[in-house]
Amino acid sequence: MRVAFLVPDKRDELRRYAEADPYFHPAPAALLEGLAQMPECEVHVVCCVQKPLRSPAKLAGNIYYHSVIVPKWGWLRGAYLGCIRAVRKELREIKPDLAHGQGAERYCAVAAVFSGFPSVLTIHGNMRQLAKLRRARPFTFLWLTARLERIALPRAGGVICLSRHSQDQVAVLARRTWMLPNAVDAQWFEPGIKPPPDPAAPRQIVCVADILPLKNQAQLIRALDPLAQREKIELVFFGSALRGIPYVEEFFQLVQDRPWCRFAGFADRPGLRSAVGRATLLVLPTLEDNCPMAVLEAMAAGVPVAASKVGGIPDLISDGVDGLLFDPAQTESIRSAVARILASDEEARRLARAARDKALRCFHPLAIARRHCEIYGQIIGAN
């Protein structure tokens, strides 16, 4: 089986053209990690880039890398027509059995469905839903990608959805759907060395998400104010923040006014694994999310999770079994979930063990890769 895997190379997104090795967003990278263990599947990673990039011809024994240069006019403002043309040309040389587009946020979905080969898409973020929630203005990124998503979904042979929430969003447009969560990098499953708790040290709560109104960090801070008055806690935020935006400035003022809050900024993958692994719990107060990697990764690492009962998160966490769910619009609901984990080390360990067991069964790279190969076979067999 030969698969063209269409995914953005983050070196191009971040303009890091001097770096020698390609790297991808965590979920596609973990899936490729699993596919690398399946020699019966030959994978050709195809990335559109704006400048030449140095790269190895192969990323693993059965995984090949191709970058295609697309001029400036061929990107989003041009409805990705340049990317579509470049991918079609490259795939005529590769001759895959199937093209797999990773996400509708960039060129991958439209390039896959117009490639001339059978196609399947993975929906990471529901762009039409996000555009609606954020009231996207015409011709902004969200407005344009929402329209391209609507074009791509019905043209694909099928759509891989990360949650039932996502399935519900795409069902009206997709010919066929499967529910399959993201894979998690195998390193998150490796047992970390966690120092014994220091009774004098604060309990560390981590929140991993870019600072945005949708991620609801300000509400989390306010919800934990009463808890911080009676418990020794440290709330640490990891993520990117674009200064000058009113919500972001409000967030930084809230953090500055509270000695128990800290903004740690963007962390690389090893740094994030280390920080989450040492934490007492991870909390995610998001107002909308499909399949947040922060939740999956904490579960794999055996860290208790409290997260919003929204979007696809209830498909990942069974409330009270392997994590806790709360209403992100209600401060009392957020505070109650966090306090429950802090109140009992035994409860926290029980939730963490159950979460890790589920992650090993459901999110491990090899398990997710095997299921993808089954889906690839179904698409190829239907054409």
Question: Is the same domain home to 28 and 152?
Answer: yes
The string of pLDDT tens digits covering residues 128-148 is 888 887 788 998 888 888 899
- Token code pair at residue 103: 């996400």
Residue 318 confidence (pLDDT):
95
Res 192 pLDDT > 70: no
Average pLDDT over residues 290-300: 95
Judge whether 341 and 281 are in contact, CB under 8 Å. yes
Res 12 pLDDT > 80: yes
Question: Is the same domain home to 269 and 375?
Answer: no
Sign of CA dihedral 129, 130, 134, 136: negative
Task: Read off the DSSP letter of residue 159.
Answer: E
Sign of CA dihedral 38, 35, 185, 20: positive
Question: Is the same domain home to 108 and 190?
Answer: no
pTM: 0.90
Residue 201 confidence (pLDDT):
81
Structural domain containing residue 293: 186-362
Question: Is the same domain home to 167 and 102?
Answer: yes
Window from 44-48, 187-191, 327-331, 364-368 with minimum mean pLDDT: 187-191
Question: Is the same domain home to 373 and 284?
Answer: no
Sign of CA dihedral 342, 345, 349, 351: negative
Residue 203 confidence (pLDDT):
92
Which residue stretches of the chain are H helix?
A: 10-13, 26-35, 81-94, 108-113, 127-133, 141-152, 164-170, 217-230, 246-256, 269-278, 293-301, 313-316, 331-343, 345-362, 365-381
Question: Is the same domain home to 53 and 201?
Answer: no
Residue 195 confidence (pLDDT):
57
Tokens 């979460």 found at: 355
Question: Is the same domain home to 63 and 162?
Answer: yes
Question: Is the same domain home to 56 and 73?
Answer: yes
The string of pLDDT tens digits covering residues 90-130 is 999 999 999 999 998 899 999 999 999 999 999 988 888 88
- Residues near 253 by Cβ (< 8 Å), separated by ≥ 6? none
Task: List the one residue out of 86, 90, 38, 47 whose CA is nearest residue 65.
Answer: 47
Residue 143 confidence (pLDDT):
87
CATH number at residue 151: 3.40.50.2000
Residue 317 confidence (pLDDT):
96
**pLDDT category of residue 198 using cuts at 50, 70 and 90:** low
Give dist(CA 185, CA 82) in Å, integer.
32
Give dist(CA 380, CA 105) in Å, integer.
25
Question: Is the same domain home to 196 and 247?
Answer: yes
Question: Is the same domain home to 175 and 224?
Answer: no
Question: Is the same domain home to 177 and 229?
Answer: no
- Name the domain count of the chain: 2
Question: Is the same domain home to 273 and 350?
Answer: yes
Residue 129 confidence (pLDDT):
82
Judge whether 64 and 5 are in contact, CB under 8 Å. no
Residue 266 confidence (pLDDT):
92
Window from 80-89, 184-193, 257-266 with minimum mean pLDDT: 184-193
